[in-house]
Amino acid sequence: MFRIKRMDIFILQSFVPLFMMTFCICLFIVLMQFLWRYIDDLVGKGLGVDVIAELFFYAALTMIPMALPLAILLASLMTFGNLGEQFELTAMKASGISLLRTMAPLIVLMVMIATGAFFFQNNVLPVAQTKMWTLLYSMRQKSPELEIPEGVFYDQIPGYNLFVQEKNRDTGVLYEMMIYDVSKGFENSSIILADSGKMSITPDKTHLFLRLWNGESFENIRDAGASNMRNVPYRRESFSQKDIMLKFDANFNRMDEQGMRSQYVGKNMTELQASIDSMSHRVDSIGDIYGTALREYPYMGLRRYDSKTDNEGRHYKLRRPDVALARPVDVDSVFRGSSSGVRINYLSQALSKAERTLEEYKYKSQTMAEEQKLIRRHAIELQKKFTLSFACVIFFFIGAPLGAIIRKGGLGTPLVISVFLFIFYYIIDNMGYKFARDGKWEVWEGMWLSAAVLLPLGIFFTYKAVNDSAVFNKDAYLNFFRRFFGVSEVRHVEMKELVMAEVDPKVAVERLAALKAETAAYLSHNPEKQSYADYWTRGYDRDSLHRLRDNIEATVEYLSNSREKLVVLKLMDMPILRSLWFQQPSRRTWLSRLMIVLFPAGVPVWLYGRKTQTDLRAELATVNKVADELIKLIDKD
């Protein structure tokens, strides 16, 4: 029977609060990005708080697929970073609990979250997206709030431009007004000038009522005059009071959701699949019709198919046999036998027919392209139902091992790493989305590109964390490059205060003499200069070099017990031999043969290898020299 252990409860209690906090933070950030993007459609419309709150509620639901993976990544990084920083993970590993066992309750939680994310994407998100986009488009259609500025023309009233020199904010009276009415066209425009006026909106908020005092109006009456008159008549009117009613809808009218519900953003998985099947069938049918019409198109005035009717009254088409020509058609004879005008007419007709055919097929191609693009958009939305769930699991297997490796809690380092990884994921995901949308890749390839890129990263971090590998230890990488490129190391030997085994001078001299003999043998066995072929087939024997290096280290370790300070100081001059791949690349036979065949390609490696061999011979010469000096210091008698 499965039992939840205390450690599992501790891990869940450490993760869940952080996850809720990071999810709210991430959702707030993406909502601010949404507000920044659509701020122009909301400001100055006089929208109520309830309408804006409703929009933000549906926008928050729509933004969950973007905020959820980032929240999981950040929360898992912080959780395991805190556990590593407080040595909780070290205590668990010391108790025999592996990292995967520590992650087990959260893995179960991630599976539950991924399952919930799938059902959210399939059932809740289409409704939320439908309501959000319908509400946003309705807000875009709403007229802006009427706020007449001073000293500038106001053009937010459809068909009118209004100028007010000054206004009294207490009484609402406008002074020095100028109204341009261009609702009937610029040529039939009218102008109204007034000393003052007052503006109000009708109770039903569908019209704007203006009462003007002491002014004049000028109206173009071109329609009343003859069309050939050079001077256009106009009408002038003076008034002490004039009332004008302008059409201005200030209400907020919601659009019908059914139009957005029929789009791909408002469909669940079953509806998307049904739409894809129906559109694919329609595209195939249209393509079959176009192909049949192309095959049956008459060329050179000859029809390729004859219409037949069988005994039952069914119509079918029978292909005509190919026309056998006694001799090739001489097209040039048609031109030679006609006048220049007729030839030009032939060419003009042929060019016009070719252009008409080209335009026709372009239109058909664009129609098919739009249909296929709509199919891809539906397929993309269908794949999104699964990619979010998979992204949640992948980000957990990136964040949790990475937190265990870096062992840094809080919001500092985890936040930086999370933002960097999420930006990387967002770029890859957008690139795949655009490739799939434009038809350059298959839809499933584009939509699963980010998962294919991040999955190996999650496996790598999990493997490294389980095996306690030093992924972010810069010293490990520096040591690797030092060993690979042969950066020399300095030997450090200190005088020992307590010596457990005394150094026997006779034994020390014998070991130094044997070391000299082994060094000389190695130098004689490996020639100083090697040709290109000898370098790739033989090189310097690294196995013998390893034995010689071990002998040097053993001799140094033995002599470091000496009570003679000069001997200990001289040991620091003994070089540390470096065994490099460049000294003997022939350990890989296939590579040696390949480099010999591809002669120019291996020349840079050969030159650098020659340099490492020269440095090695210099180090071995130093070994002999230091050995001689040590023998003199030890064998004083």
Q: What is the pLDDT of residues 569-598, one digit of tens each?
A: 888 888 888 877 777 887 777 777 777 777
Cα angle 415, 416, 419 (rounded to 5 degrees) comes to: 80
Q: How far apart are CA 234 and CA 226, in angstroms?
A: 13
Q: How far apart are CA 418 and CA 76, in angstroms?
A: 10
User: Is the pLDDT assigned to residue 388 strictly greater than 70?
Assistant: yes
Contacts of 26 (CB under 8 A, 6+ apart): 66, 67, 68, 70, 71, 74
Q: How far apart are CA 343 and CA 479, in angstroms?
A: 84
Cβ atoms of residues 444 and 383 within 8 Å: yes
SS3 (DSSP) at 307: strand
Cβ count near 104 (within 10 Å) = 16
Averaged pLDDT score across all residues of the chain: 80
User: Is the pLDDT assigned to residue 414 strictly greater than 80?
Assistant: no
Q: How far apart are CA 488 and CA 490, in angstroms?
A: 7
Calculate mean pLDDT across residues 293-306: 71
SS3 (DSSP) at 503: coil
Calculate mean pLDDT across residues 425-432: 88
- The whole-number pLDDT of residue 83 equals 86
Q: How far apart are CA 637 and CA 297, in angstroms?
A: 115
Q: Scanning the structure block, which residue is given the tokens 């993976």?
A: 69
Q: How far apart are CA 358 and CA 287, in angstroms?
A: 17
Cβ atoms of residues 615 and 528 within 8 Å: no
Contacts of 27 (CB under 8 A, 6+ apart): 60, 63, 64, 67, 71
Q: How far apart are CA 495 and CA 261, in angstroms?
A: 84
User: Is the pLDDT assigned to residue 547 strictly greater than 70?
Assistant: yes
As given in the structure block, the two tokens for residue 456 are 């190996």
- Selected residue with higher pLDDT from 186 and 172: 172
Cβ count near 576 (within 10 Å) = 13
Per residue in 55-114, pLDDT (tens digit) is 889 888 988 988 898 899 888 888 888 888 888 888 888 888 888 888 888 899 999 999
SS3 (DSSP) at 306: strand
CA distance from start to end of the chain: 82
Question: What are the angstrom distances between the C-alpha of 5 and each of 80, 101, 105?
Answer: 18, 11, 10
As given in the structure block, the two tokens for residue 406 are 């870096």
Q: How confident is residue 231, by pLDDT bands cut at 50, 70 and 90?
A: low
Q: How confident is residue 41, by pLDDT bands cut at 50, 70 and 90?
A: low
Predicted structure pTM score: 0.61
Per residue in 180-206, pLDDT (tens digit) is 887 776 666 788 888 888 887 777 667
As given in the structure block, the two tokens for residue 536 are 């790739």
User: Is the pLDDT assigned to residue 45 strictly greater than 80?
Assistant: no
Find the Cα–Cα–Cα–Cα dihedral 202, 207, 208, 213, rounded to 10°: -90
User: Is the pLDDT assigned to residue 477 strictly greater than 60?
Assistant: no
Q: How confident is residue 408, by pLDDT bands cut at 50, 70 and 90?
A: confident
Q: How far apart are CA 534 and CA 523, in angstroms?
A: 16
Cβ atoms of residues 76 and 405 within 8 Å: no
Question: What are the angstrom distances between the C-alpha of 482 and each of 454, 487, 544, 582, 622?
Answer: 31, 5, 21, 13, 21
Q: How confident is residue 534, by pLDDT bands cut at 50, 70 and 90?
A: confident
180 bridge partner residues: 161, 191
User: Is the pLDDT assigned to residue 471 strictly greater than 60?
Assistant: no
| Residue of 500, 498, 551, 516 lying closest to 627 (CA atoms) | 516
| Residue of 170, 183, 243, 182 lying closest to 210 (CA atoms) | 243
- Selected residue with higher pLDDT from 601 and 376: 376
Between strands 173-181 and 190-201, the pairing is antiparallel
Cβ count near 502 (within 10 Å) = 9
- The whole-number pLDDT of residue 20 equals 92
User: Is the pLDDT assigned to residue 224 strictly greater than 50?
Assistant: no
SS3 (DSSP) at 360: helix
